[in-house]
Structure 1
Amino acid sequence: MMGWSTEARVSDLAQPDPPGAADPIDRRCGSPPCQQDADTKAFTGRGGAPAEVRQAQTRVDRIHRQQEELSRLTRRVRGRTFNLAVHRRKDTGQVHLRWRAAGSGARAGHIAWGVIHAHFAQLPGVLREWYERIHRRANELNRREIEARLAQRHACERNP
């Protein structure tokens, strides 16, 4: 029986899932769990529909990792006043980078680039250019993330 224990399957069925819980594949596509989601040629590499969905999800995941890395990079700057923070929207699933004041308290929170740019304009040339490059990269990743999630959604709709 391919290594699945009957006990594990029964216990999985016996435990009700919390609201909103779903299989990771189902969560990505929003489709109810069913046997038809299985790739009919899973071991040959020729299964079409699920492969497209997996590739789209892989692209989204890769962009999310790049966003996390860029955020970590900005937090490593000594004496930093601002850093990029990863912001996740629960309702849409969007993940994007936003500038945030470092530290905690009344000053901490998300800040628009225009406000930060005035601060960065006073920095030495090399550091100012670095922050501007980081900002451009953050905008690019945010744009690519939106495009990748849209492509993923379309893949899921084409391959229910």
Structure 2
Amino acid sequence: MRAVLQRVTQASCTVDGNITGEIGTGFLVLLGIEDADTVDDLEWLAQKIANMRVFEDENGLMNKALADVGGNILLISQFTLFAATKKGNRPGFTRAAKPDVAIPLYEKMIEQLASLTGKNIQTGIFGADMKIALLNDGPVTILIDTKNKE
């Protein structure tokens, strides 16, 4: 499981002209799921996201977590995070989980993040053609891969 975590001052997802999720201060999280991912990966990643200290304190240091700043999460499914680009110029996506595996894990991630943050998690629509707008703050962008826990 991979997540691209972006600290934002605002972010939104639009599908067919309708906003499906939007936040102010918080994290835009692009989530990629592969067939090898487990609930253990999901729980570890959710903890990382909820507790990542990348918001500035009164001294300008990245010491505050999402809860410390009252932030929210916009979670977007993103199978292209598992693009294979080694050969040729057209990426392959064979490592990305198929919907029958990915959708339940994505939905479980929404539940897990809501439980950890005590907030309603904003989302896109799995598999839809989504338009994401964001104002990256910093910019702060962090890649987290559950296969690199140690």
| TM bracket (short chain) | under 0.3
Report 1 or 2 for greater relative contact order, CA contacts < 8 Å, sequence distance ≥ 6. 2
| Larger radius of gyration between Structure 1 and Structure 2 | 1
Higher helix share: 1
| Larger strand share, 1 or 2 | 2
TM-score by length of 1: 0.22
